[in-house]
Structure 1
Amino acid sequence: MKRFTSILLAAVLAAVLLAGCGAAPSSQPASKPASQPVSQSEPAPAAPEYERATVRVAYMPNMGSGSAIVTGIEMGYFDEVGLDVKLTQFQGGPAEIAAMASGDIDISQIGHGAHALCIEGQAKIFALDLLGVSDEVLANKERGINSVADLKGKTVASTAGTSAEIVLNLVLSTAGLTQDDVKVVEMDANGCVSAMISGQVDACATWAPSTTTIKEQMGDNCLSLGSNGDFVDTVTFPGSFICTEEYAQEHEDILVRFGQALLKAQDYRAPHIEEVCGWLAKEIEADDATILATKDSGEWLTGEFIVKALADGTIKNYYDSQQQVFVDGGRIPEKVPVENYVLFDVMQKACDAYTAAQA
């Protein structure tokens, strides 16, 4: 009996010792051998910590210039990368570049025409935004204008150094004309609207939403003689974000973060363009219907497309093709390497950060 009791006590003691050493409860799987470690969920990588910065951004009050930046603000994408964006309206790219040179603006969104100033070394391109198709040459039929050829000797309002001026030159060339054959009057986009509606000029070259307003106010008396959409098979009209060379050297990190947020904004903009029209209308205090009518004024590139287009050389080809337009039109004397004024390294870093954040 004593022997049985001793054996029983030993068995109980062994069970207690095993429990004290952490034997797994019956509800948990037994430990795996060393060659098959227990699967544990790894903690998600911590979000990058950014030093907050304020970026002063110039844009023009139209969908081509303001849609991506407004989307990024509304959706909080710039805030996600530690950037506070402060917007200032301008009526043209050359004025934006002048403001950057004076130190009043950090980053600008420009249309096709102002890219010539980048080629000349006045600014650096660090992000592609869209391909523009909103510039148009409009004429007053009451002035006896029924074709491009009828523009000869007429007064045409335009904004020098902008995409509208480039389109004016292209449209004139279809009838064998140049600016020497017309009287060009310098006006900004708002001036073109009032001058056309009041009859101060015979025709104008400008962009949406000014073109939309002119057509609405003039009705059947307004004739479209051509737009950059008529030349897309041979010419590209990129809209880009730019900065000065000095700013790029001192604030590359901000440019990369800005570019990363922009790519995300472009992804949202394309499938939600009508919603974006509403945001822009509110930002620029314009009529919703007027801005909505310009929803097709650009080829709304996505971040996903831009990542691929940068890798396969499509984006470089866009800027190369654009530069050829300036050469053919006599705006610049000869072509220069695109790398001279396009910061492809910043574009790539922004794409890499965007791709990593998507994973």
Structure 2
Amino acid sequence: MKKTLKAALCAALACAMLAGCGSAPSSTAPASGSGSTGGSASTASDAPEYERATVRVAYMPNMGSGSSLITGIEMGYFDEVGLDVELTQFQGGPAEIAAMASGDIDIAQIGHGAHALCIEGQAKIFALDLLGVSDEVLANTERGIETVADLKGKTIASTAGTSAEIVLDLVLGTAGLTTDDVTVVEMDANGCVSAMISGQIDACATWAPSTTTIKEQMGDKCVSLGSNGDFVDTVTFPGSFVATEKYASEHEDILVRFTQALMKAQDYRAANIEQVCEWLAKEIEADPETILATKDSGEWLTGEFLVGALADGTIEQYYDSQQQVFVDSGRIPEKVPVSDYVLFDVMQKAADAYTAAKS
């Protein structure tokens, strides 16, 4: 069965105007929580009994957004905690958050850029998924572009409100440029691919696997001018799971169970990344080799790491550092307490359940 959100698109685009919407969501078949390949639900007599629930989850068709979800489904981890996960694809985090606001989606996995909307109160973060390193600024050398300075006066495609937009700002800054020195046009990740290959634009800022496809198709005509990997010493680019404040307050137990399963999925993902690439490629109907080429597009955090990072304040530091990027770029006027929009209580309950299940 295919799930479509045509009706939600209008609301999604309207709600996300301030942050810049992603493109229209495309649908994928709801994925059974039982999984088709991996582990089965716990059968121990002392295993917790859960009230069955269905969770509608938005994600983007790439490893950074979909890898832990696909792993949790394939390995049966969501099924173990009584959750059936239905997936719907989007092309950008702001549109995902807008779809949650309209009630068409329960949970979303977002990249760095859309976190600004959480800081502004549009959603609550309840789980840290990974640190992204897949965003990149690519340029067409046939347009006389060899360095960042050569971008001055050029036309660059990007998706507003995403991590790629932030990386574009950072990369331009290395040459003393800002977006006032270039012409930025709005395009989703798919649009960036076709526009770059066809020569409609001079450069683009987007993420894997779109960057992989562009470089493969353009060959020597494409040059990489920078990525978020160039700024990891000073900036973190978290990918997180979010929900609206209303959903979080009414369904905290579901968020805790979802995060507990997610932490197991993160452990498996980190140890079996190539297998996860195969699963994701099948889910999004992409070329397996293209997805495999993006296996290093994230710092794949584990459940064990997250337990410690929550306890010693590392997770809070990640989000605090992220806020500073938004302040420096003018995206938000000033920093706010991280606890205003990050549900540390949900993270802690999930960490406790994860740890207990392992002991």
What range is the shorter-chain TM-score in? 0.7 to 0.9
Q: How many residue pairs get matched?
A: 316
What's the CA shift for 1:218? 0.2
Q: Which residue of 2 aligns with 1:83?
A: 83
- Counterpart CA distance in 2 for 1:323 and 1:68 is 24
- CA deviation digits over 1:62-94, x for unaligned, max 9? 000000000000000000000000000000000
- Give how far 1:150 is off: 0.4
Are 1:58 and 2:58 an aligned pair? yes
Match of 2:185 in 1: 185
Q: C-alpha displacement at 1:148, in angstroms? A: 0.3
Instruction: After TM superposition, give the deviation of residue 121 of structure 1 in Å.
Output: 0.2
- Secondary structure of the residue that 1:258 maps to in structure 2? helix
Residue of structure 1 equivalent to 2:32: none
Matches within 5 A, 1:115-264: 115-264=115-264
Task: Deviation per CA, 1:190-225: give whole Å up to 9, x if none.
Answer: 000000000000000000000000000000010000
Q: SS of 1:170's equivalent?
A: helix
Whole-angstrom CA distance in 1 between matches of 2:257 and 2:308: 19
Which residues in structure 2 correspond to 1:291-330 (within 5 Å)?
291-330=291-330
The answer to whether the aligner puts 1:109 opposite 2:105 as a matched pair is no
Q: Give the superposed CA RMSD.
A: 0.6
- CA drift of 1:264 comes to 0.3
1:285 corresponds in structure 2 to 285
CA distance in 1, matches of 2:185, 2:236: 26
Structure 2 regions of 5+ residues with no counterpart? 1-43
Structure 1 distance, partners of 2:166, 2:311, is 29
1:347 aligns with 2:326: no
1:200 maps to a residue whose letter is Q
Q: Within 2, Cα distance between the matches of 1:195 and 1:45?
A: 57
CA distance in 1, matches of 2:108, 2:151: 34
Whole-Å separation in 2 of the counterparts to 1:213 and 1:253: 40
Amino acid at match of 1:89: Q
Question: Residues 150-206 of structure 1: CA distance to partner in whole angstroms, max 9, x if unpaired?
Answer: 000000000000000000000000000000100000000000000000000000000
Q: Partner amino acid for 2:139?
A: A
For the pair shown, the structure with the greater C-alpha radius of gyration is: 1
Distance in 1 (alpha carbons) for counterparts of 2:356 and 2:279 = 28
Runs of 4+ in 1 over 3 A off after TM superposition: none
TM-score by length of 1: 0.88
CA distance in 2, matches of 1:120, 1:285: 35
Pair 1:97 & 2:97 matched: yes
SS in 1 for 2:55: strand
CA distance in 2, matches of 1:333, 1:175: 24
Give SS of 1:121's match: coil
Give the Cα separation in 2 of the matches to 1:262 and 1:348: 13
The residue type paired with residue 168 of structure 2 is L
Q: Percent identity?
A: 87
Deviations 1:256-282 (A, max 9, x none): 000000000000000100000000000
Give distance in 1, aligned partners of 2:266 and 2:97.
23
Equivalent-residue separation in structure 2 for 1:290 and 1:241 (angstroms): 25
SS state at 2:171 partner: helix
| 1:248 aligned partner, one-letter code | A
Secondary structure (helix, strand or coil) at the match of 1:130 reads strand
SS of the equivalent of 2:49 reads coil
Name the amino acid aligned to 1:258. Answer: F
- The CA deviation at 1:45 is 6.3
Find the residue that maps to 1:325 and give its secondary structure: helix
More displaced 10-residue stretch of structure 1: 44-53 or 290-299: 44-53
CA distance in 2, matches of 1:52, 1:110: 25
In 2, Cα distance between equivalents of 1:102 and 1:57:
14
SS in 1 for 2:272: helix
Rounded to whole Å, the distance in 1 between the matches of 2:62 and 2:99 is 19
